[in-house]
Chain A
Protein backbone atom coordinates (compact mmCIF):
# COMPACT_ATOMS: atom_id res chain seq x y z
CA UNK A 1 0.00 0.00 0.00
CA UNK A 2 1.28 3.45 -0.85
CA UNK A 3 1.92 6.09 1.74
CA UNK A 4 -0.48 9.03 1.75
CA UNK A 5 0.97 11.11 4.55
CA UNK A 6 4.48 11.06 5.91
CA UNK A 7 5.61 13.49 8.58
CA UNK A 8 9.18 13.70 9.83
CA UNK A 9 10.34 15.41 13.01
CA UNK A 10 7.67 18.08 13.01
CA UNK A 11 8.17 20.75 15.71
CA UNK A 12 6.76 24.12 16.63
CA UNK A 13 7.20 26.38 19.66
CA UNK A 14 4.97 29.12 20.98
CA UNK A 15 6.85 31.56 23.17
CA UNK A 16 9.39 29.01 24.35
CA UNK A 17 6.86 26.22 24.84
CA UNK A 18 7.38 23.32 22.47
CA UNK A 19 3.78 22.59 21.57
CA UNK A 20 4.74 19.85 19.12
CA UNK A 21 8.11 18.21 19.44
CA UNK A 22 9.58 15.82 16.89
CA UNK A 23 6.25 14.48 15.66
CA UNK A 24 6.38 11.57 13.20
CA UNK A 25 3.59 9.74 11.46
CA UNK A 26 3.13 7.54 8.40
CA UNK A 27 -0.34 6.84 7.09
CA UNK A 28 -1.06 4.42 4.24
CA UNK A 29 -3.69 4.72 1.58
CA UNK A 30 -7.18 3.93 2.82
CA UNK A 31 -6.23 3.81 6.47
CA UNK A 32 -8.40 5.03 9.32
CA UNK A 33 -5.88 6.47 11.72
CA UNK A 34 -6.43 7.89 15.20
CA UNK A 35 -4.54 10.65 16.97
CA UNK A 36 -5.24 10.62 20.68
CA UNK A 37 -3.80 12.11 23.83
CA UNK A 38 -4.71 14.07 26.95
CA UNK A 39 -6.03 17.63 26.71
CA UNK A 40 -3.34 20.07 25.67
CA UNK A 41 -1.13 17.34 24.23
CA UNK A 42 -0.87 19.22 20.94
CA UNK A 43 -3.24 17.24 18.75
CA UNK A 44 -5.04 20.20 17.19
CA UNK A 45 -1.69 21.93 16.77
CA UNK A 46 -0.60 18.95 14.65
CA UNK A 47 -3.70 19.46 12.49
CA UNK A 48 -2.93 23.15 12.21
CA UNK A 49 0.61 22.31 11.10
CA UNK A 50 -0.58 19.74 8.57
CA UNK A 51 -3.04 22.22 7.05
CA UNK A 52 -0.66 25.18 6.96
CA UNK A 53 -2.43 27.28 9.59
CA UNK A 54 0.92 27.29 11.42
CA UNK A 55 4.29 26.96 9.76
CA UNK A 56 6.53 24.39 11.47
CA UNK A 57 9.86 25.45 12.99
CA UNK A 58 11.37 22.13 11.97
CA UNK A 59 10.38 19.00 10.13
CA UNK A 60 8.86 17.99 6.81
CA UNK A 61 5.40 17.01 5.65
CA UNK A 62 4.88 14.86 2.53
CA UNK A 63 1.53 14.20 0.91
CA UNK A 64 1.81 11.28 -1.51
CA UNK A 65 5.53 12.00 -1.74
CA UNK A 66 5.07 15.69 -2.49
CA UNK A 67 6.69 18.06 0.00
CA UNK A 68 3.97 20.40 1.25
CA UNK A 69 5.90 21.85 4.20
CA UNK A 70 5.40 25.61 4.57
CA UNK A 71 2.67 25.85 1.95
CA UNK A 72 -0.44 27.93 2.58
CA UNK A 73 -3.73 26.46 3.77
CA UNK A 74 -5.23 27.06 0.35
CA UNK A 75 -2.40 25.30 -1.49
CA UNK A 76 -2.48 22.41 0.94
CA UNK A 77 -6.21 21.99 0.40
CA UNK A 78 -5.64 21.99 -3.34
CA UNK A 79 -2.88 19.42 -2.84
CA UNK A 80 -5.41 17.16 -1.14
CA UNK A 81 -5.88 17.69 2.59
CA UNK A 82 -9.25 18.76 3.97
CA UNK A 83 -10.27 19.12 7.58
CA UNK A 84 -13.00 19.77 10.10
CA UNK A 85 -12.66 21.92 13.19
CA UNK A 86 -12.94 21.19 16.89
CA UNK A 87 -15.07 24.30 17.41
CA UNK A 88 -17.41 24.01 14.43
CA UNK A 89 -16.69 26.52 11.68
CA UNK A 90 -19.57 26.50 9.25
CA UNK A 91 -20.66 29.28 6.93
CA UNK A 92 -23.53 30.11 9.26
CA UNK A 93 -25.51 32.42 7.04
CA UNK A 94 -25.33 30.17 4.00
CA UNK A 95 -27.69 27.29 3.37
CA UNK A 96 -26.63 23.73 4.05
CA UNK A 97 -26.41 23.16 0.30
CA UNK A 98 -24.30 26.26 -0.26
CA UNK A 99 -21.90 25.21 2.48
CA UNK A 100 -21.14 22.08 0.49
CA UNK A 101 -21.06 24.04 -2.77
CA UNK A 102 -18.33 26.27 -1.33
CA UNK A 103 -16.43 23.04 -0.76
CA UNK A 104 -16.93 22.19 -4.45
CA UNK A 105 -15.61 25.62 -5.46
CA UNK A 106 -12.32 24.54 -6.99
CA UNK A 107 -13.67 21.45 -8.70
CA UNK A 108 -16.49 23.10 -10.64
CA UNK A 109 -15.52 26.36 -12.25
CA UNK A 110 -16.91 29.06 -14.47
CA UNK A 111 -15.84 32.68 -14.78
CA UNK A 112 -17.30 35.54 -12.76
CA UNK A 113 -18.55 37.06 -16.01
CA UNK A 114 -20.55 34.00 -16.98
CA UNK A 115 -21.92 33.99 -13.44
CA UNK A 116 -23.11 37.56 -13.71
CA UNK A 117 -24.40 37.23 -17.27
CA UNK A 118 -25.92 33.81 -16.56
CA UNK A 119 -24.20 32.23 -19.55
CA UNK A 120 -24.84 28.55 -20.36
CA UNK A 121 -21.68 27.49 -18.53
CA UNK A 122 -23.17 28.98 -15.37
CA UNK A 123 -26.38 26.99 -15.67
CA UNK A 124 -24.63 23.77 -16.59
CA UNK A 125 -22.03 23.96 -13.83
CA UNK A 126 -24.48 25.06 -11.16
CA UNK A 127 -26.71 22.13 -12.01
CA UNK A 128 -23.80 19.72 -11.74
CA UNK A 129 -22.77 21.32 -8.44
CA UNK A 130 -26.28 20.96 -7.05
CA UNK A 131 -26.36 17.30 -7.98
CA UNK A 132 -22.94 16.57 -6.52
CA UNK A 133 -23.68 18.51 -3.33
CA UNK A 134 -27.02 16.79 -2.83
CA UNK A 135 -25.55 13.36 -3.33
CA UNK A 136 -22.88 14.17 -0.73
CA UNK A 137 -25.50 15.49 1.66
CA UNK A 138 -27.58 12.35 1.26
CA UNK A 139 -24.65 10.29 2.57
CA UNK A 140 -24.97 12.25 5.81
CA UNK A 141 -28.74 12.21 5.73
CA UNK A 142 -28.77 15.96 5.34
CA UNK A 143 -30.36 16.23 1.89
CA UNK A 144 -33.77 17.04 3.32
CA UNK A 145 -32.33 20.00 5.21
CA UNK A 146 -30.41 21.36 2.23
CA UNK A 147 -32.27 24.67 2.11
CA UNK A 148 -31.96 25.40 5.85
CA UNK A 149 -29.40 27.89 7.08
CA UNK A 150 -26.40 26.05 8.46
CA UNK A 151 -26.80 27.79 11.81
CA UNK A 152 -30.30 26.35 12.17
CA UNK A 153 -29.07 22.76 12.11
CA UNK A 154 -28.86 20.86 15.40
CA UNK A 155 -25.35 20.41 16.76
CA UNK A 156 -24.76 16.86 15.65
CA UNK A 157 -25.83 17.64 12.10
CA UNK A 158 -23.56 20.68 12.02
CA UNK A 159 -20.62 18.35 12.66
CA UNK A 160 -21.77 16.12 9.82
CA UNK A 161 -22.15 19.07 7.49
CA UNK A 162 -18.58 20.08 8.22
CA UNK A 163 -17.41 16.63 7.18
CA UNK A 164 -19.53 16.82 4.01
CA UNK A 165 -18.03 20.21 3.17
CA UNK A 166 -14.49 18.91 3.65
CA UNK A 167 -15.27 15.86 1.51
CA UNK A 168 -16.60 18.12 -1.23
CA UNK A 169 -13.05 19.27 -1.95
CA UNK A 170 -12.30 15.63 -2.86
CA UNK A 171 -9.26 15.32 -0.60
CA UNK A 172 -6.80 12.45 -0.49
CA UNK A 173 -6.55 12.83 3.26
CA UNK A 174 -9.39 13.88 5.52
CA UNK A 175 -8.59 15.29 8.97
CA UNK A 176 -11.40 15.11 11.51
CA UNK A 177 -10.94 17.08 14.72
CA UNK A 178 -13.08 15.47 17.45
CA UNK A 179 -15.98 14.56 15.16
CA UNK A 180 -17.98 13.00 18.02
CA UNK A 181 -17.61 15.89 20.48
CA UNK A 182 -20.95 16.76 22.02
CA UNK A 183 -22.76 13.80 20.47
CA UNK A 184 -24.84 11.29 22.42
CA UNK A 185 -23.95 7.55 22.25
CA UNK A 186 -26.51 6.91 19.49
CA UNK A 187 -25.21 9.74 17.36
CA UNK A 188 -21.66 8.57 17.95
CA UNK A 189 -22.54 5.07 16.84
CA UNK A 190 -24.12 6.47 13.69
CA UNK A 191 -21.09 8.68 13.10
CA UNK A 192 -18.75 5.68 13.34
CA UNK A 193 -20.72 4.01 10.57
CA UNK A 194 -20.55 7.15 8.48
CA UNK A 195 -16.80 7.51 8.90
CA UNK A 196 -16.23 3.90 7.90
CA UNK A 197 -18.53 4.47 4.94
CA UNK A 198 -16.52 7.50 3.83
CA UNK A 199 -13.38 5.43 3.87
CA UNK A 200 -14.96 2.49 2.03
CA UNK A 201 -17.24 4.27 -0.43
CA UNK A 202 -15.16 7.35 -1.19
CA UNK A 203 -11.82 5.56 -0.77
CA UNK A 204 -10.46 8.25 1.54
CA UNK A 205 -7.65 8.09 4.02
CA UNK A 206 -8.74 9.51 7.36
CA UNK A 207 -6.83 10.86 10.33
CA UNK A 208 -8.98 11.71 13.30
CA UNK A 209 -8.54 13.25 16.72
CA UNK A 210 -10.92 11.81 19.26
CA UNK A 211 -11.48 11.50 22.98
CA UNK A 212 -14.21 8.91 22.74
CA UNK A 213 -12.26 5.68 23.26
CA UNK A 214 -15.15 3.55 22.09
CA UNK A 215 -15.06 5.31 18.76
CA UNK A 216 -11.29 5.14 18.50
CA UNK A 217 -10.98 1.47 19.39
CA UNK A 218 -14.02 0.68 17.28
CA UNK A 219 -12.89 2.06 13.94
CA UNK A 220 -9.21 3.09 13.97
CA UNK A 221 -6.71 0.58 12.68
CA UNK A 222 -3.67 2.41 13.96
CA UNK A 223 -3.09 5.01 16.64
CA UNK A 224 -0.59 7.63 17.64
CA UNK A 225 -0.66 8.86 21.22
CA UNK A 226 0.57 12.36 21.81
CA UNK A 227 1.65 13.59 25.24
CA UNK A 228 3.20 16.99 25.95
CA UNK A 229 3.75 17.51 22.24
CA UNK A 230 5.69 14.36 21.54
CA UNK A 231 4.79 10.87 20.42
CA UNK A 232 4.27 8.56 23.39
CA UNK A 233 3.24 5.45 21.53
CA UNK A 234 2.45 4.45 17.98
CA UNK A 235 1.18 1.33 16.22
CA UNK A 236 -1.75 -1.09 16.00
CA UNK A 237 -4.75 0.13 18.00
CA UNK A 238 -4.91 -2.85 20.36
CA UNK A 239 -1.15 -2.71 21.05
CA UNK A 240 -1.18 1.01 21.73
CA UNK A 241 -4.15 0.88 24.05
CA UNK A 242 -2.43 -1.80 26.12
CA UNK A 243 0.87 0.10 26.26
CA UNK A 244 1.62 0.74 29.97
CA UNK A 245 3.03 4.19 29.11
CA UNK A 246 -0.28 5.16 27.51
CA UNK A 247 -2.30 3.90 30.44
CA UNK A 248 -0.04 5.86 32.76
CA UNK A 249 -0.46 9.05 30.75
CA UNK A 250 -4.22 8.71 30.77
CA UNK A 251 -4.80 7.46 34.28
CA UNK A 252 -1.90 9.02 36.18
CA UNK A 253 1.09 7.48 37.91
CA UNK A 254 -0.36 5.35 40.68
Chain B
Protein backbone atom coordinates (compact mmCIF):
# COMPACT_ATOMS: atom_id res chain seq x y z
CA UNK B 1 0.00 0.00 0.00
CA UNK B 2 2.88 2.34 0.70
CA UNK B 3 4.06 1.65 -2.80
CA UNK B 4 0.67 2.73 -4.14
CA UNK B 5 0.90 5.96 -2.19
CA UNK B 6 4.35 6.65 -3.61
CA UNK B 7 3.16 5.80 -7.07
CA UNK B 8 0.27 8.26 -6.84
CA UNK B 9 2.60 10.96 -5.53
CA UNK B 10 4.92 10.19 -8.40
CA UNK B 11 2.14 10.54 -10.96
CA UNK B 12 1.13 13.80 -9.34
CA UNK B 13 4.64 15.27 -9.48
CA UNK B 14 5.01 13.82 -12.95
CA UNK B 15 1.83 15.59 -14.04
CA UNK B 16 3.34 18.92 -13.06
CA UNK B 17 6.51 18.06 -14.98
CA UNK B 18 4.36 17.01 -17.90
CA UNK B 19 2.52 20.34 -18.00
CA UNK B 20 5.80 22.25 -17.95
CA UNK B 21 7.30 19.84 -20.47
CA UNK B 22 4.37 20.40 -22.82
CA UNK B 23 5.25 24.09 -22.91
CA UNK B 24 8.93 23.28 -23.37
CA UNK B 25 8.34 20.81 -26.14
CA UNK B 26 5.98 23.09 -28.07
CA UNK B 27 8.39 25.99 -27.94
CA UNK B 28 11.26 23.74 -28.94
CA UNK B 29 9.32 22.12 -31.75
CA UNK B 30 8.34 25.44 -33.24
CA UNK B 31 11.04 27.96 -32.39
CA UNK B 32 13.83 25.31 -32.28
CA UNK B 33 15.23 26.86 -29.13
CA UNK B 34 15.85 25.73 -25.59
CA UNK B 35 13.94 28.27 -23.58
CA UNK B 36 15.96 28.23 -20.37
CA UNK B 37 13.67 30.92 -18.96
CA UNK B 38 10.63 28.66 -19.14
CA UNK B 39 11.12 27.49 -15.56
CA UNK B 40 11.21 31.06 -14.34
CA UNK B 41 7.82 31.76 -15.90
CA UNK B 42 6.51 29.10 -13.49
CA UNK B 43 7.99 31.09 -10.65
CA UNK B 44 6.38 34.29 -11.94
CA UNK B 45 3.04 32.48 -12.12
CA UNK B 46 3.35 31.28 -8.53
CA UNK B 47 4.29 34.74 -7.24
CA UNK B 48 1.42 36.27 -9.20
CA UNK B 49 -1.10 33.94 -7.59
CA UNK B 50 0.50 34.46 -4.19
CA UNK B 51 0.20 38.24 -4.51
CA UNK B 52 -3.27 38.29 -5.96
CA UNK B 53 -4.61 36.07 -3.22
CA UNK B 54 -2.81 37.45 -0.21
CA UNK B 55 -2.75 41.13 -1.15
CA UNK B 56 -5.97 41.72 -3.02
CA UNK B 57 -7.92 38.88 -1.48
CA UNK B 58 -9.22 37.70 -4.83
CA UNK B 59 -10.72 34.24 -5.02
CA UNK B 60 -8.36 31.41 -6.02
CA UNK B 61 -10.03 30.83 -9.37
CA UNK B 62 -9.87 34.49 -10.38
CA UNK B 63 -6.25 34.68 -9.20
CA UNK B 64 -5.26 31.68 -11.26
CA UNK B 65 -6.98 33.03 -14.36
CA UNK B 66 -5.24 36.39 -13.89
CA UNK B 67 -1.90 34.65 -13.33
CA UNK B 68 -2.34 32.72 -16.55
CA UNK B 69 -3.01 35.98 -18.37
CA UNK B 70 0.01 37.64 -16.79
CA UNK B 71 2.30 34.77 -17.78
CA UNK B 72 0.85 34.63 -21.27
CA UNK B 73 1.55 38.32 -21.74
CA UNK B 74 5.02 37.85 -20.28
CA UNK B 75 5.75 34.98 -22.64
CA UNK B 76 4.68 36.97 -25.69
CA UNK B 77 6.68 40.00 -24.57
CA UNK B 78 9.84 38.03 -23.87
CA UNK B 79 9.62 36.32 -27.23
CA UNK B 80 9.07 39.58 -29.08
CA UNK B 81 11.82 41.54 -27.32
CA UNK B 82 14.52 39.00 -26.66
CA UNK B 83 14.09 36.00 -28.96
CA UNK B 84 12.55 37.28 -32.18
CA UNK B 85 15.49 39.56 -33.08
CA UNK B 86 17.75 36.51 -32.89
CA UNK B 87 15.77 34.34 -35.25
CA UNK B 88 18.08 33.26 -38.03
CA UNK B 89 21.22 34.13 -36.06
CA UNK B 90 24.42 32.49 -37.23
CA UNK B 91 24.68 30.28 -34.16
CA UNK B 92 21.83 28.60 -32.26
CA UNK B 93 23.82 29.37 -29.11
CA UNK B 94 22.92 33.06 -29.41
CA UNK B 95 19.28 32.60 -28.51
CA UNK B 96 20.19 30.01 -25.86
CA UNK B 97 22.38 32.52 -24.06
CA UNK B 98 19.72 35.19 -24.42
CA UNK B 99 17.22 32.83 -22.80
CA UNK B 100 19.69 32.45 -19.94
CA UNK B 101 19.81 36.24 -19.75
CA UNK B 102 16.02 36.34 -19.53
CA UNK B 103 16.14 33.70 -16.81
CA UNK B 104 18.62 35.79 -14.78
CA UNK B 105 16.44 38.83 -15.39
CA UNK B 106 13.25 37.21 -14.12
CA UNK B 107 14.98 35.68 -11.08
CA UNK B 108 16.61 38.93 -10.08
CA UNK B 109 13.48 40.92 -10.69
CA UNK B 110 11.66 38.58 -8.31
CA UNK B 111 14.54 38.90 -5.87
CA UNK B 112 14.23 42.68 -5.94
CA UNK B 113 10.47 42.70 -5.50
CA UNK B 114 9.97 39.83 -3.08
CA UNK B 115 13.38 39.41 -1.47
CA UNK B 116 15.28 36.19 -0.95
CA UNK B 117 13.10 34.98 1.89
CA UNK B 118 10.87 31.99 1.32
CA UNK B 119 7.20 32.86 0.97
CA UNK B 120 4.62 30.36 2.15
CA UNK B 121 2.20 29.65 -0.64
CA UNK B 122 -1.31 28.80 0.50
CA UNK B 123 -2.76 26.01 -1.54
CA UNK B 124 -5.22 27.17 -4.14
CA UNK B 125 -6.98 23.85 -4.03
CA UNK B 126 -9.56 23.40 -1.34
CA UNK B 127 -10.66 19.82 -1.51
CA UNK B 128 -11.02 16.98 0.92
CA UNK B 129 -8.44 14.21 0.54
CA UNK B 130 -9.74 10.96 -0.86
CA UNK B 131 -9.33 7.89 1.29
CA UNK B 132 -9.09 4.48 -0.32
CA UNK B 133 -8.74 0.93 0.98
CA UNK B 134 -9.94 1.86 4.42
CA UNK B 135 -7.54 4.74 4.82
CA UNK B 136 -4.34 2.99 3.81
CA UNK B 137 -4.12 5.06 0.65
CA UNK B 138 -4.87 8.77 0.77
CA UNK B 139 -4.96 11.00 -2.24
CA UNK B 140 -4.82 14.72 -1.51
CA UNK B 141 -7.01 17.20 -3.30
CA UNK B 142 -3.90 18.71 -4.87
CA UNK B 143 -2.99 15.37 -6.37
CA UNK B 144 -6.44 14.83 -7.83
CA UNK B 145 -6.60 18.30 -9.34
CA UNK B 146 -3.04 18.02 -10.68
CA UNK B 147 -3.58 14.73 -12.43
CA UNK B 148 -6.94 15.74 -13.87
CA UNK B 149 -5.59 19.11 -15.08
CA UNK B 150 -2.67 17.43 -16.76
CA UNK B 151 -4.83 14.97 -18.69
CA UNK B 152 -7.28 17.72 -19.60
CA UNK B 153 -4.53 19.99 -20.84
CA UNK B 154 -3.01 17.29 -22.95
CA UNK B 155 -6.31 16.40 -24.58
CA UNK B 156 -7.11 20.05 -25.23
CA UNK B 157 -3.68 20.67 -26.73
CA UNK B 158 -3.87 17.68 -29.03
CA UNK B 159 -7.35 18.71 -30.18
CA UNK B 160 -6.19 22.27 -30.69
CA UNK B 161 -3.22 21.22 -32.78
CA UNK B 162 -5.00 18.65 -34.87
CA UNK B 163 -8.38 20.31 -35.34
CA UNK B 164 -7.84 24.05 -35.57
CA UNK B 165 -6.27 26.16 -38.26
CA UNK B 166 -3.88 27.81 -35.81
CA UNK B 167 -2.81 24.36 -34.61
CA UNK B 168 -2.16 23.19 -38.15
CA UNK B 169 -0.12 26.34 -38.69
CA UNK B 170 1.98 25.34 -35.68
CA UNK B 171 2.62 21.93 -37.18
CA UNK B 172 3.57 23.54 -40.48
CA UNK B 173 5.99 25.98 -38.82
CA UNK B 174 7.59 23.22 -36.80
CA UNK B 175 8.07 21.14 -39.94
CA UNK B 176 9.58 23.84 -42.14
CA UNK B 177 9.52 27.51 -41.28
CA UNK B 178 10.47 28.71 -44.74
CA UNK B 179 7.90 26.57 -46.54
CA UNK B 180 5.18 27.52 -44.04
CA UNK B 181 5.90 31.18 -44.71
CA UNK B 182 5.61 30.63 -48.46
CA UNK B 183 2.27 28.91 -47.93
CA UNK B 184 0.97 32.04 -46.26
CA UNK B 185 1.32 30.99 -42.62
CA UNK B 186 2.01 33.90 -40.30
CA UNK B 187 5.21 32.54 -38.80
CA UNK B 188 5.77 35.30 -36.24
CA UNK B 189 2.18 35.10 -35.10
CA UNK B 190 2.33 31.34 -34.78
CA UNK B 191 5.52 31.47 -32.74
CA UNK B 192 3.97 34.15 -30.49
CA UNK B 193 0.93 31.97 -30.00
CA UNK B 194 3.15 29.04 -29.05
CA UNK B 195 4.95 31.11 -26.45
CA UNK B 196 1.60 32.35 -25.18
CA UNK B 197 0.28 28.82 -24.71
CA UNK B 198 3.54 27.54 -23.23
CA UNK B 199 3.70 30.40 -20.74
CA UNK B 200 0.04 30.08 -19.82
CA UNK B 201 0.67 26.41 -19.08
CA UNK B 202 3.66 27.41 -16.99
CA UNK B 203 1.39 29.54 -14.82
CA UNK B 204 -0.93 26.57 -14.26
CA UNK B 205 2.11 24.42 -13.48
CA UNK B 206 3.23 27.09 -11.01
CA UNK B 207 -0.12 26.96 -9.28
CA UNK B 208 -0.08 23.16 -9.03
CA UNK B 209 3.58 22.95 -8.03
CA UNK B 210 3.28 25.55 -5.31
CA UNK B 211 0.07 24.02 -3.98
CA UNK B 212 1.93 20.77 -3.36
CA UNK B 213 5.34 22.26 -2.50
CA UNK B 214 4.48 25.57 -0.83
CA UNK B 215 7.90 27.22 -0.30
CA UNK B 216 8.26 29.94 -2.87
CA UNK B 217 11.58 31.63 -3.72
CA UNK B 218 12.89 33.41 -6.82
CA UNK B 219 14.62 30.16 -7.77
CA UNK B 220 11.59 27.91 -7.32
CA UNK B 221 11.10 27.43 -11.04
CA UNK B 222 14.60 26.63 -12.15
CA UNK B 223 15.04 22.99 -11.07
CA UNK B 224 11.50 21.92 -12.08
CA UNK B 225 12.17 23.73 -15.36
CA UNK B 226 15.31 21.67 -15.97
CA UNK B 227 13.54 18.46 -14.92
CA UNK B 228 10.65 19.20 -17.24
CA UNK B 229 13.12 19.80 -20.02
CA UNK B 230 14.67 16.44 -19.21
CA UNK B 231 11.16 14.97 -19.38
CA UNK B 232 10.57 16.56 -22.77
CA UNK B 233 13.86 15.19 -24.12
CA UNK B 234 13.15 11.83 -22.51
CA UNK B 235 9.79 11.58 -24.30
CA UNK B 236 11.19 12.89 -27.56
CA UNK B 237 11.42 16.64 -27.79
CA UNK B 238 8.81 18.17 -30.08
CA UNK B 239 6.31 15.41 -29.36
CA UNK B 240 3.28 16.28 -27.20
CA UNK B 241 2.41 12.74 -26.09
CA UNK B 242 6.15 12.28 -25.54
CA UNK B 243 6.29 15.21 -23.14
CA UNK B 244 3.29 13.82 -21.26
CA UNK B 245 4.72 10.32 -20.92
CA UNK B 246 8.21 11.65 -20.20
CA UNK B 247 6.87 13.87 -17.42
CA UNK B 248 4.86 11.13 -15.74
CA UNK B 249 7.70 8.58 -15.89
CA UNK B 250 10.18 11.12 -14.55
CA UNK B 251 7.90 12.00 -11.63
CA UNK B 252 7.42 8.35 -10.73
CA UNK B 253 11.15 7.60 -10.92
CA UNK B 254 11.93 10.61 -8.76
CA UNK B 255 9.45 9.79 -6.00
CA UNK B 256 10.22 6.07 -5.98
CA UNK B 257 13.96 6.58 -5.81
CA UNK B 258 13.48 9.11 -3.03
CA UNK B 259 11.42 6.54 -1.15
CA UNK B 260 13.42 3.40 -1.75
CA UNK B 261 16.98 4.36 -2.65
CA UNK B 262 18.19 7.73 -1.45
CA UNK B 263 16.61 11.14 -1.31
CA UNK B 264 19.96 12.78 -2.07
CA UNK B 265 20.55 10.63 -5.11
CA UNK B 266 17.07 10.90 -6.62
CA UNK B 267 18.10 13.62 -9.05
CA UNK B 268 21.15 11.64 -10.07
CA UNK B 269 18.94 8.62 -10.74
CA UNK B 270 16.52 10.68 -12.83
CA UNK B 271 19.40 12.01 -14.92
CA UNK B 272 20.93 8.54 -15.24
CA UNK B 273 17.67 7.18 -16.64
CA UNK B 274 17.59 10.05 -19.15
CA UNK B 275 21.12 9.23 -20.28
CA UNK B 276 20.33 5.55 -20.69
CA UNK B 277 17.18 6.30 -22.70
CA UNK B 278 19.02 8.70 -24.97
CA UNK B 279 21.85 6.27 -25.56
CA UNK B 280 19.40 3.59 -26.61
CA UNK B 281 17.05 5.93 -28.47
CA UNK B 282 19.00 9.06 -29.38
CA UNK B 283 15.85 11.11 -30.05
CA UNK B 284 13.89 10.03 -26.98
CA UNK B 285 10.98 7.64 -26.57
CA UNK B 286 8.63 9.12 -29.18
CA UNK B 287 11.01 11.40 -31.06
CA UNK B 288 11.37 11.37 -34.81
CA UNK B 289 14.61 10.16 -36.29
CA UNK B 290 16.30 12.74 -38.43
CA UNK B 291 18.97 11.83 -40.93
CA UNK B 292 21.14 14.34 -42.65
CA UNK B 293 20.91 14.23 -46.41
CA UNK B 294 24.22 13.71 -48.15
A-contacting residues, B257-294, CB 8 Å: 294
Chain B residues lying within 8 Å of A44, measured Cβ to Cβ, are: 294
User: Residues of A contacting B294 with CB < 8 Å?
Assistant: 44, 48, 53, 85
Interface majority SS (helix, strand, loop, mixed), chain B: loop
What distance in Å separates the Cβ of B143 from its nearest Cβ neighbour in chain A? Answer: 44
Task: Return chain B residues, CB-CB under 8 Å to A85.
Answer: 294
Please classify how large the interface on chain A is, using the bins under 10, 10 to 19, 20 to 34, 35 or more. under 10
4 nearest A-B residue pairs (beta carbon):
A53-B294, A48-B294, A85-B294, A44-B294
| Bound form: Cα–Cα A85–B294 in Å | 8
Q: Report Cα–Cα, A53/B294, bound state, in Å.
A: 8
Among residues of A, the one whose C-beta sits closest to the C-beta of B292 is A53
Name A residues whose Cβ lies closer than 8 Å to a Cβ of B.
44, 48, 53, 85
How far, in angstroms, from A138 to B31 measured CA to CA in the complex? 45
Question: Across the two chains, which residue of chain B brings its CB closest to A177?
Answer: B294
Closest CB-CB distance, B266 to chain A, in whole Å? 41
The smallest C-beta distance from B158 to any residue of chain A, in angstroms, reads 26
Complex Cα distance, B292 from A53, in Å, reads 11
Which chain B residues in 44-67 approach chain A with CB under 8 Å? none
For the complex, give the distance between the alpha carbons of A175 and B294 in Å. Answer: 14
Tell me the nearest residue of chain B to A85, going by C-beta.
B294
Residue in chain B with minimal CB distance to A53 = B294
CA distance A105 to B49 in the complex (A): 62
- B91 to chain A minimum Cβ distance, whole angstroms, is 12
Residue of B nearest to A83 (CB): B294
A13 to chain B, nearest CB (A): 15
Cα A20 to Cα B294 with chains together (Å) = 16
A44 CA to B294 CA, complexed, in Å: 8
4 contacting pairs across A/B (C-beta < 8 A): A44-B294, A48-B294, A53-B294, A85-B294
Q: How far is the CB of A175 from chain B (nearest CB, A)?
A: 12
A67 to B294, CA, bound (A): 23
List chain B residues, Cβ under 8 A from A53: 294
Q: Kindly provide the distance from the CB of B90 to the nearest chain A CB, expressed in whole angstroms.
A: 11
Closest to B293 in A: A87
- Specify the chain B residue showing the minimal Cβ separation from A73: B294
Nearest residue (CB) in B for A86 is B294
A178 CB, nearest partner CB in chain B, Å: 13
- C-alpha spacing A48/B294, complex, angstroms: 8
Shortest CB distance A251–B (Å): 29
CB distance from A108 to the nearest CB of B (A): 27
Closest to A44 in B: B294
Distance to closest chain B CB from A162 (angstroms): 14
CB distance from A16 to the nearest CB of B (A): 16
Taking the closest CB of chain A, its distance from the CB of B208, in whole angstroms, is 42
**Measured CA separation A85–B293 after assembly (Å):** 11
Measured between alpha carbons, how far is A48 from B291 in the docked complex, in Å? 14
- Measured between beta carbons, the chain B residues less than 8 angstroms from A48 are 294
Chain A nearest CB, measured from B93 CB (Å): 15
Q: How far is the CB of A88 from chain B (nearest CB, A)?
A: 12
User: In the complex, A110→B152 CA distance in Å?
Assistant: 63
Chain B 132-167 residues near chain A, CB threshold 8 A: none
Min CB distance B288 to A, Å, is 14
Bound together, the chains give a CA A117 to CA B227 distance in angstroms of 44
Distance of A85 Cα from B292 Cα, bound (Å) = 14
CB distance from B196 to the nearest CB of A (A): 37
Which of B96-143 touch A at CB < 8 Å? none
